[in-house]
Amino acid sequence: MGQDLATLRRALHERFPSATFAPRPSCAALAPPGTLCDLVGGPASGKCSLALRLLRDTAGPVAYVDVAHELYPPAAAQAGLDLLRLILCRPGDETAAIRAAERLLGSGWVRALVLDRGARSEPLSAPACHRLRRASREGGTRLLVLSAVGCAAADSRFFVQPDEGGVLLLAQKPGARLRIAL
């Protein structure tokens, strides 16, 4: 595992030179402000758990845009997320979700935003990715997109799968692996 962690750290450092890496992997390093980080995985892969950990570890107000209406707030609270800091948005469709995410990102008020696309079978379009990234950059907000298939133009993409005691992240670059205990 030590070699896998070193490989992932090098890959992350190449992609995000200003990121710092703590001895215990932090989800914040996966999604630096102003970038679009894509977590790809199937149901029960651990994407939502990682997203909640990112929100929990971010100081200030955070947002969760839940297209599939699957987030259960009591479970989020049990995972350590302060619900008083959470804006939960449940739009009626994907278009409304992207508009809501753009506005929240661009407001500069939220420090991190998760766009949970649920089990959508089509990738998020490149124009939508660019608009979200621009809003994230303007607002200085961390942006994490959860989906089953990924985004057309993500800054970084991690494939998530369950692992004993946590999740295993497989970076886009071959051989880069990271285990995160949840």
pLDDT in tens, 110-141: 999 999 998 876 888 889 999 999 999 999 99
Domain ranges of the chain: 2-15+31-177
Specify the amino acid at residue 110.
V
Average pLDDT, the chain: 81
- Domain 2-15+31-177 architecture: 3-Layer(aba) Sandwich (3.40)
pTM attached to this predicted model = 0.78
Instruction: Report the Cα 25 to chain-centroid distance in Å.
Output: 15
Residue 26, both tokens: 């932090």
pLDDT at site 159? 83
Residue 150 has pLDDT above 50, yes or no: yes
CB 52 within 8 A of CB 29: no
The reported pLDDT for the residue numbered 109 is 92
**Per-residue tokens: 133:** 């990234």
Sequence-distant (≥ 6) Cβ neighbours of residue 46 within 8 angstroms: 160, 161, 162, 163, 166, 167, 182
5 vs 106: CA distance, rounded Å: 33
Cβ atoms within 10 Å of 155's Cβ, excluding its own:
18
Q: Is the pLDDT of residue 9 over 80?
A: no
**Residues 35-91 pLDDT 10s:** 888 888 888 888 888 889 889 999 999 999 999 899 999 999 999 999 999 999 999
Report which listed range, 95-104, 112-121, 147-156, is most confident: 95-104
